[in-house]
Amino acid sequence: MRETTYFQRNAPDPILDDSIVLEIARQYMPKAMMVNSIDESGGEARTYVIDESFILKVQRPQQLRSSTSLEKEAFFLNQIAKQTDVSVPRVLGYGKKDSHEYILMTKMEGVSVENTKLSKNEKNDLLLELGAELRKIHDMDQRPFLNSGLFPKDDPKDLTERLQRRYRHAIQKKESLNQEKLSVALTTLNNDLQNIHNTDEYVVLHANPYIPHVFVNEGTHKYTGIIDFGDAYIGHPILDMWYWNEKSRKMLLRGYVSEKPFNDSFKKIFSIVNLVSSWIGKL
């Protein structure tokens, strides 16, 4: 499984002057007027809000890494717009200004779920809609992604390895376990994961369609869309569901299969993931 590598950790990381931001934006939007705010919460990129409705996303040089790519994100968003009706930012431009790589795109309506308190019913409605949106993304024609050379692809063994890493970390965080219990827990986990057989149903993944990247209307709390596709890779669909807890993941799956059922292989993998998640929760 690929490891993430940072290429230039000591590179300078200047905030761009408004004049440079607007110069870039006006290549695609000649009437761009002003920079309203700057957001650095994304980590790998810095975003500049322009005229309240547009985002200039610029790669932070010291955060340039092997798993994240603005070129990849722009390609992914354009394919989604071409192949589906999934609600994502619309790309207006991609390129480089001197050493600054950027995407100019529309601003997603609403606020992230991370910054919103949803009722139980609102959360369930969100998960159903998000599940249906993920299915549309996973069902796209995969050939453009494979042919682009931009998207890392998991090897056959990577599904089990990813799950082992995730659940081993969860087990080890349980400080109440003594070493003997921990050894038993890890052995049981590995035995369960041996029952997973990788399939050829690998698809392009968002990689983290979780609360920081899922948006809702600030007033109604209705789903508005999903952002941040820069970490995308090609892997098993279950890996776009594992950030949610077991109960939420089951609701997400209901939306995922609302128009098209999954096959037996996916059902088996989903069941084992939920079984292990449930088992860890009871330790």
> Do 156 and 239 belong together in one domain?
yes
> Do 139 and 250 belong together in one domain?
yes
Which helix (H) or strand (E) element contains residue 118? none
- Residue 124: exposed, middle, or buried by beta-carbon count in 10 A (0-12, 13-18, 19+)? middle
**Domain ends where: 106, 133, 166?**
106
Which has the closest alpha carbon to 61: 39, 41, 45? 45
User: In this structure, is residue 176 part of a structural domain?
Assistant: yes
pLDDT given for residue 206 in this prediction:
97
pLDDT tier, 134 (very low <50, low <70, confident <90, very high otherwise): very high
The 10 Å Cβ neighbour count of residue 192 is 17
> Do 82 and 121 belong together in one domain?
no
Q: What is the pLDDT of residues 216-230, one digit of tens each?
A: 999 999 999 999 999
Higher pLDDT, 272 or 240: 240
CATH number at residue 172: 3.90.1200.10
**Torsions phi, psi of 60, nearest 5?**
-80, 120
pLDDT given for residue 157 in this prediction:
75
Angle at 123 between CA 119 and CA 125, to 5 degrees: 120
> Do 85 and 99 belong together in one domain?
yes
**Domain ends where: 106, 129, 153?**
106
Domain count, the chain: 2
Average pLDDT over residues 96-106: 92
- As given in the structure block, the two tokens for residue 31 are 């009437």
- Is the predicted pLDDT of residue 110 greater than 50, yes or no? yes
Q: How far is C-alpha 214 from the geometric centre of its chain's CA atoms? A: 9
User: In this structure, is residue 5 part of a structural domain?
Assistant: no
User: In this structure, is residue 181 part of a structural domain?
Assistant: yes
- Is the predicted pLDDT of residue 122 greater than 60, yes or no? yes
pLDDT tier, 160 (very low <50, low <70, confident <90, very high otherwise): confident
pLDDT tier, 69 (very low <50, low <70, confident <90, very high otherwise): confident
Distance separating alpha carbons of residues 270 and 277, to the nearest angstrom? 11
> Do 172 and 273 belong together in one domain?
yes
- Is the predicted pLDDT of residue 119 greater than 50, yes or no? yes
Q: How far is C-alpha 22 from the geometric centre of its chain's CA atoms? A: 28
Q: What is the pLDDT of residues 196-209, one digit of tens each?
A: 655 557 899 999 99
Show the domain range for 44. 18-106
User: In this structure, is residue 29 part of a structural domain?
Assistant: yes
User: In this structure, is residue 204 part of a structural domain?
Assistant: yes
- Is the predicted pLDDT of residue 192 greater than 70, yes or no? no
